[in-house]
Chains A and B, each alone.
Chain A
Amino acid sequence: MFTKLLNHEILNLLKSRRVYLTVIMFLLLFTTVFVVRVLDYQKQVNQYIEDVKVNDEAMANIENYSHITPRAIQEPILFSIYNEGYRIQRVINIKFYEAIIETTSINAERNMLFFPDTELDITFLITFFLSLFILLISYDSVNGEKQVGTLRLLMTYPLKRQSFILKKMLGVFIFVAFVFTMPYFLSIISLMVIYANLLTINFFISAFFYWFLTIFFILFFSLLGIFLSTCSKSPNQSLVYAILTWMVLCIIIPISWDYIISPSLSNERIHQATQNYHTYTTQAKRAIEHDLPDDANLRLVPMGIWTSSAGIENDGIHEMSLWGYDETYEQSSRFQSHLYENYYPLIRASEQAYDDVYRVRINTENMMNRVFFFNPIVIFHNLSMKIAGNSRVDHLVFLHTARELRDDLVNLGATEGWLFDYRFYAHFKEEYNLGSREEMLARFDGDRELVWEYVNDIEENAEMYEMEVPVFRKYEQPHFTLAMMIPRIFESMVLFVGSIVGLWVVIWWRFLGYDVR
């Protein structure tokens, strides 16, 4: 009997003109956003190929290695079609002498929509539009039947009230879940066709988790809609409630978070981390200034630009400059070599201190978000970024990896170096004597793979070569396995599921005492 009720509910939704229009609108939007995002991704891929090519040419034509700026170039993430995330910076220039990590902003166009910080991606479509659509479908599911009177007639049949409310919830949920799942899987299949060579098992893991998360999102909003429909006798009134609730969740809370709460966020841990950062930068600056060579021709030389630590915008404090000189290339080079050899740990420590500020801030924001501003929209947004692998923390990992690559080279005594195709080549001091890149390439007829085989061979057979082996590292994109994904999203999922259960209990309790007349 329950199946018949459920079938009837879904059929009833299918036959409603309002629902029909809503679904058509969602499908149109989904298709548009997907096409825009695929084109955008293609732009990023083209840009990436261009960046690598420019790097390649620069490396090929270089005569003096001290001019080389190694770059860590982040590969575009295919799943960014679904969630753009915090991938604003994707190229990192690693400047040795200045001990600076600079980043280049993404060149592909950002598709902004409504809010300055919001991008047109599938996540936005789900959080902004799908949530509204679900509420528009479900706002009158109980009081609508009450108004027409069918609720009364149903209650004269041997149906438990629980069955009725369960069929209402499942009807909306299954219907919307299907409406989302259909184009979603079609989009995945399209990607399988377009980018067959780029797809990895990780992509499918992300795709599955993203779908799973969206299903929870749909469940939450279906319940919310049904809850609102039990809050008022008139469907018109509950429509107003639904729109107001949606505005609070989707517009007011996120905007007040971005522009009011987050900027004024302050606690002891952030304060302490910021203090540490200032201590290190001041220490580094003073030490360097006292150590300026006598022939210094003073001008402002940027020492560290840490604004690159993704995400924190609008604060210019994280920049350190000092009076140095660069009258001639030799002077500049000598000075910077001097800094590098003597102050690298100090400069590195201030970089690290800044990253700590950033990390503490992310943790604090997440905690505040979860505990005080519980909002399924924000949780969904954050979780989907974690699933896509382009959250703020992921960007921090990217920065760290690049810096660690530089650390390795510095520890090995490299004074020059570059990063190419995610691998560092380095021109080391004489005792390692790997030769310059060109010498290496010339030795292997320009075949980079053979160069690397040679390097790997040295690494693996250190004893045979009787030398201290430099540790080469390759930058790798962080890829998420199932085992890594689950702990990533577990904590927030618990909150999500908890809120769904809580809402369900409230609806259950409300409807048991609901006046059906």
Chain B
Amino acid sequence: MLKITDLSKRYEDGNLALDNLCLEIRRGKIFTLLGANGAGKSTAINIICGFIPPTGGDVWVDEISLSENPLLLRCKIAYLSENVMLYDNFTGYQNLKFFADISKIPATKGNKATNPAMKFNLIKVLRDVGLQDEFIHENISKYSKGMRQKIGIAIALVKDAPMLLLDEPFSGLDPKASHDFQALLYKLRNDGKTILMSTHDIFRAKEMADVVGIMQGGKLVMTKTRTELESEDLNRIYLDYIEERVVMENEE
């Protein structure tokens, strides 16, 4: 489903944010990326989304290459960040409608342009993600963070992309909202969506992930499946890596 090969990113200031990152996620799995700040989690997601160009390597989603067909690759991914970005002058419904309208997959050889979002009943989607009816036509500026998150996931849902990229999605959510959001992600996974999620929350990572990866210095230094982790303490492993990094920095 998602394949990353030798992905590198060196910023203009010389900082090497990604160092030949290789990663593969199978369809219908949740992959959680753990790592300290600056480990390269967000950079990887930013490159997959096309926000920044890589300096080397490539990304494939459903056999579509980022370097060869970046526009088509964007049809395959949906993105949700820590702070869901929406147009404050519009209502939740209007935001969803706008992003549904622009979800059109451009025409390719042998395929006509289609818009997968058209098959959704937008109001129903908003109800499904748990938004209360009275807020559907309310301005976004009146929404709580959890409600914005719900609109964000609704936007990702109607895009109908097979791959979801979540950048710190739980940060700042209250326990109830977190619980609801987690349930929603399970449902998506069961529907066959592939999810790549970056987080600092080790417990949630262990709870949710089918595969956990730890990043450090732009590299994926460890991957463990759910079964492997059952008998291990992820918190301990993660802290070991972090401390190791502290030692390495001191040595330098």
Chain A positions within 8 Å of B, measured between CB atoms, are 1, 4-5, 8, 11-12, 15-16, 148-160, 515-517
Contact = CB atoms under 8 A, between A and B. Distances in A.
B188 to A, nearest CB: 17
A156 B77 contact: yes
Contact of B102 (A1, A11, A12, A151): A1
19 contacts: A1-B102, A11-B89, A16-B89, A148-B86, A150-B85, A152-B81, A153-B79, A153-B85, A155-B49, A156-B49, A156-B74, A156-B78, A156-B79, A158-B75, A158-B106, A159-B102, A517-B46, A517-B51, A517-B52
Given A152-B85, A158-B71, 16 more contacts: A1-B101, A4-B102, A8-B87, A11-B90, A12-B89, A16-B89, A149-B84, A151-B85, A152-B51, A153-B85, A156-B50, A156-B77, A156-B78, A157-B74, A158-B105, A160-B71
B89 A15 contact: yes
Interface in B76-112: 77-79, 81, 83-90, 98-99, 101-106
A409 to B, nearest CB: 70
Interface residues of B, number: 31
B72 interface: yes
A287 B204 CA distance: 107
Nearest to B100: A4
A140 to B, nearest CB: 13
A158 B155 CA distance: 15
Contact of B52 (A4, A158, A515): A515
Interface string B156-178: 00010000000000000000000
Contact of A155 (B51, B101, B105): B51
B89 A5 contact: no
Nearest to B155: A153
Nearest to A160: B71
B103 A149 contact: no
Given A156-B78, A157-B103, A158-B75, A4 B49 contact: no
Nearest to B73: A158
B50 A5 contact: no
Contacts of B98: 4, 8
Contacts of B84: 149
Interface string B41-79: 000001001111000000000000000000110110111
Contacts of A516: 51
Contacts of A157: 74, 99, 102-103, 159
Task: Identify which of A15, A152, A155, A157 gathers the most chain B CB atoms within 10 Å of its CB.
Answer: A157
A90 B83 CA distance: 66
Given A149-B83, A152-B81, A5 B51 contact: no
B82 to A, nearest CB: 10
Given A1-B101, A155-B49, A158-B106, A149 B89 contact: no
A440 to B, nearest CB: 75
Contacts of B78: 156
A153 B106 contact: no
A214 to B, nearest CB: 28
B127 to A, nearest CB: 22
A180 B238 CA distance: 61
Contacts of A151: 85
Nearest to B104: A1
B4 to A, nearest CB: 17
Given A8-B98, A158-B75, A149 B81 contact: yes
